[in-house]
Structure 1
Amino acid sequence: MWNTASIDHKPLLAVTSGEPAGVGPELCVRLAARDWPMRPVVLGDADLIAARAAASGQKLRVREFAPDEPAQSGVLDVLHCPLVVAAQPGRLDPANAAYVLSLLDRAIAGCRSGEFAGMVTAPVHKGVINEAGVPFSGHTEYLAEQTGTARVVMMLIGGGLRVALATTHLPLSAVSAAITPAVLEDTLRILHRDLAARFGLAAPRILVAGLNPHAGEGGHMGREEIDVIVPVLERLRAEGMQLLGPLPADTMFVPHTLQQGDAVLAMYHDQGLPVLKYASFGGGVNVTLGLPIVRTSVDHGTALDLAGSGRADPGSLFAAVELAAQMARACSAHP
């Protein structure tokens, strides 16, 4: 349970403003225009965020967050974390990689202590963090490492779909070897558990994709279904899980099949996410399942070409804040 809330009794959500050269800071500015079920606190450099607000024509006041001050319309609460070097819209600088990671670390610490009910992340740029000499493959993997979580599951939500991934940021040539019986079983257990605990689905129904075209065509197009996927599904079905598959990925997303499930498990990143992003881009949400904390994120990148223009769409960030609040309430009701 959370041990900190604002004076208006709303639990707090940490919102990391992400890559300072990208659209994250100006998207966070837009949070001040709405009343939220939980109070968002933006983590970032207060001067940077104020400057992006001014540049985008947003009329608001940026103030240092204090839990004893009530939320106000037109006022953005910022937990100040200073930049390493000044940031220019659209111009990446590896010197600020440490700043970006410090936002994540502060949000994680606040969630684990109960200060925050959950965290929402604006986009970061993986390449510039790696250029700074820090191995970084994404938020999902970083959050798992920092919380000591052995396995997490990436799931995107939008357009009426929930799509989880058995593998995430891997080259396609490495996917087959990465889908082991242990990985697949752990992924399905985490997905099943969190659909129940964080989304209120008492008996989740999961559609499971095959890896190969036509789900292997009886072994003629690959044996991963026969050797790995089917045995795992049979074992978990025997425990009572409702699992349909392995299904050919090219027909899994037709309406008739989707009606039979509450979520889809795709075997790799570009098997499931193109469909979801086609259905919901700009309004989808990335969720990390399996963590001891609630974490949601936007479904898009840093959009360096839009940074500083004021034209970036805040729809995905707004959806991520709403979903984080819903998940946090569910976790509080069923710890």
Structure 2
Amino acid sequence: MRKPVIAVTMGDPAGIGPEIVLKAIAKKGIRQSAQFLLIGDSSVLTRAARILKCKNYSAKDIYLVDLADAGSRKFSFGKTDKVCARAALRYVKLAIEFAKAGLVDAIVTAPVSKESIRSVDKAFVGHTELLAREFGVDKFVMMMAAGNLRVSLVTRHMSLSRAVKSLNQKDIYETIVLTGRSLKRHFGIKEPRLAVCGLNPHCGEGGEIGIEEKRIIRPAVMRAKRSLKRLVGPLSAEAVFYDGYRGRYDALICMYHDQALIPFKMVARDRGVNITLGLPITRTSPDHGTAFDIAGKGVADSGSMEEAIFLAAQLSR
């Protein structure tokens, strides 16, 4: 069986991306899982390799696409930098070009700084939105996965007040259906067991402390049940996460970012993976950011990056 070809972007040169990429691809199991196109800057990787005391990051199963952007000038690990921001964005866009050309089976993205990239591209929201736009995808879903626990988000990176105001039946329905379809197609789960979280405490207590469950969420769930027989909800988020963690459900549908990410990260620790559902190609990433506070110190944990690569390889076969 042919190994999948995975494009791995280096992330923000000033963050922990170069370190966790090098740590991950140094692992024998990672190297055996796929062939790699590493997109980044050789001089930055060389700096990171010295910090990590890596002897060599090149091998027959790793091809470095060297874009000498940030490394051609001095920059400091741990600090936002416009040149680094442009470089990080360029790495991702090149990976997308490779994917469109059919040269890679999956993309794994190391962390970028949204703040930095917005200083050079005000339209940038995040990796997920950029990938969807470049691939011409209207409906996409951000899923987080760690072991038995998978969570899909109806709304993503926005204020809580805006998230509540923007909730609607259409988006909830499409998130449920796309999650179910992806679990069937990519994870091999014939009849996905999905649980939909309510928005309000105790699902609004019958309308006493919130009406979104009755007016918005429940109608979307009832519609989605036509194609997903093992779908339940809305259920109280405080109770359903434990069941998701224990494997009772294949995925949970969450209404807003922190409803999903706070409990998820407590469970996932350094093994969580971000997956973009709805793209014509597999895309994963670690579930953390650039960690500027520890960048360049050689102490960053590569566990989440390793899991992102393993999962990308698995989903691409």
TM-score bin (small chain): over 0.9
Match for 1:208 among 189, 196, 199? 196
Percent identity, please: 38
Q: CA deviation at 1:299?
A: 0.8
* Structure-2 residue corresponding to 1:167: 155
* Structure-2 residue corresponding to 1:223: 211
* Structure-1 residue corresponding to 2:39: 43
Deviations 1:231-262 (A, max 9, x none): 11112213343211101111112248954311
* Structure-1 residue corresponding to 2:7: 14
Q: Does 1:265 align with 2:261?
A: no
TM-score, length of structure 2 as denominator length: 0.93
Runs of 4+ in 1 over 6 A off after TM superposition: none
Partner SS state of residue 248, structure 2: coil
Partner SS state of residue 26, structure 2: helix
* Pair 1:299–1:214, CA change in 2 (3 A): same
Match for 2:55 among 41, 56, 59? 59
Q: Give distance in 2, aligned partners of 1:139 and 1:263.
A: 22
* Pair 1:150–1:305, CA change in 2 (3 A): same
Match for 2:108 among 109, 120, 132? 120
Contact preservation (8 Å) 1:36, 1:322: no
* Structure-1 residue corresponding to 2:63: 77
Q: Give distance in 2, aligned partners of 1:43 and 1:159.
A: 28
CA RMSD in angstroms, aligned pairs only: 1.8
Counterpart residue type for residue 119 of structure 1:
I
* Structure-2 residue corresponding to 1:140: 128
Q: Give distance in 2, aligned partners of 1:235 and 1:175.
A: 22
Contact preservation (8 Å) 2:244, 2:251: no
Partner SS state of residue 254, structure 1: helix
Alignment of 1:261-300 (within 5 A): 261-300=249-288
* Pair 1:145–1:256, CA change in 2 (3 A): closer
Q: CA deviation at 1:205?
A: 1.0
Q: Give distance in 1, aligned partners of 2:224 and 2:26.
A: 45
Q: Give distance in 2, aligned partners of 1:206 and 1:304.
A: 36
Counterpart residue type for residue 34 of structure 2:
M
* Structure-2 residue corresponding to 1:111: 99
* Pair 1:41–1:256, CA change in 2 (3 A): closer
Q: CA deviation at 1:17?
A: 0.6
TM-score, length of structure 1 as denominator length: 0.89
Contact preservation (8 Å) 1:46, 1:62: no
Give ranges in structure 2 of 5+ residues lacking alignment: none
Q: Give distance in 2, aligned partners of 1:307 and 1:216.
A: 43
